[in-house]
Amino acid sequence: MKFSFTKSNLGLTQEEVIKAEENKGGGSRFMDPGVHSVKIVEADFHKNRDTQLTSCKSDPTWHNIKVVYENGAGQRHNHYVQIPTSKLTFTVNGQKGPKESAFMFVKFRQFCAGIGEVADIDATKLGALMNKYFSTPNKLVGKNLEITLGYQGAYLSYMEGKGDEAVYAIMNKDGTILDPGPYTKKTAVVEAAKRQTIITELELLSITSRVVEAPVEEVAAKAEKKEEEW
């Protein structure tokens, strides 16, 4: 392999490189479906648009937190986490009246596992965890984890254009084309309704902890030192 770089044929100036780095290559600011290694770069209580309160409308004992993940390309994904304050069940208003559900706690527990913590149902342990991270959510900033983004059903795939003129194709959950269109967002929803198809949004499907265990040698050394001290 022979390399031949000269000032005349490099094709990029230092200014252009800096600009490209600032724009993260000119790509999307948001993450695509798939697995991403991310860091939490923002975390704070989130106010409901209607009530301007951080508490959930159907169950005020639970509160909303907005967590922002960022990958190595500078792309971001927003995740809204609901946290308990006094009980682990979440009140859901169903057709037969309010009922208590464990579903929200399971989702909260999954988030905690993603940051390397266990959301125990023991009141003392859970209280310690809540005080450690969730009394002041920005304590979550800097946490590294791995997230999987995807769709639960059909979705819209951007093709070209900007703003109201942007056009989309309707895709199947597995990424194959259901209808190439092209459609605007509004006409795509109408067409999907004709097919009795619900258009879904990109969402967080799973979270995996990236907490690294100590090397075996380090663990063994600590155990040996403790035994000598004993």
Could you tell me if residue 38 is inside a domain? Answer: yes
Sign of torsion over alpha carbons 87, 88, 93, 99: negative
DSSP-assigned letter for residue 130:
I
* E strands in the chain: 34-45, 62-71, 76-84, 90-94, 97-101, 144-150, 155-160, 167-171, 177-183, 203-209
Classify residue 12: in a domain, yes or no.
no
Helix (H) or strand (E) holding 225: helix 216-229
Residues 193 and 100 placed together within one structural domain of the fold: no
Instruction: Say yes or no: 139 and 174 in one domain.
Output: no
Of 92 and 27, the one with more pLDDT: 92
SS3 content of the chain, % helix, strand, coil (to 5): 30, 35, 40
Nearest-5° angle of CA 153, CA 154, CA 159? 140
Question: How many domains, the chain?
Answer: 2
Is 17 within a domain? no
Q: For the ranges 16-25, 49-58, 162-171, 204-213, which has the lowest average pLDDT?
A: 16-25
One domain for residues 71 and 44: yes
Q: What is the rounded distance in angstroms from the CA atom of residue 54 to the CA atom of residue 142?
A: 23
- For 65, residues 6+ apart whose C-beta sits below 8 A from its C-beta are 43, 44, 45, 46, 80, 81, 82, 83, 134, 137
Residues 176 and 145 occupy one common structural domain: no
User: Span 89-116, mean pLDDT?
Assistant: 88
Residues 131 and 165 in one domain: no
Mean pLDDT, residues 12-30 taken together: 59
Note the pLDDT of residue 160.
Answer: 81
In this structure, the answer to whether residues 133 and 170 fall within a common structural domain is no
Name the residue with higher pLDDT: 193 or 8. Answer: 193
**Would you say residue 144 lies in a domain?**
yes
Do residues 29 and 105 both lie within one domain? yes
Q: DSSP code of 188?
A: H
User: At residue 74, what is the residue type?
Assistant: G
The residue segments making up the domain with residue 85 are: 22-150
Residue 213 lies in a domain: no
121 shares a domain with 66: yes
Report, as an integer, the average pLDDT of 137-146: 93
Give the pLDDT confidence of 158-188 residue by residue, as tens digits: 888 887 778 888 888 888 888 887 888 888 8
Compute the average pLDDT of residues 110-130: 90
Is residue 212 in a domain?
A: no
Instruction: Report the pLDDT value the prediction gives residue 224, as an integer from 0 to 100.
Output: 47
Q: Are residues 190 and 119 in the same domain?
A: no
pLDDT at 226 over 50: no
Whether 80 and 170 share a structural domain: no
pTM: 0.71
Give the per-residue pLDDT at 144.
93
The per-residue pLDDT for 12 is 65
Residues 142 and 34 in one domain: yes
Same domain, 107 and 131: yes
What backbone torsions phi and psi does residue 2 show, to the nearest 5 degrees? -110, 130
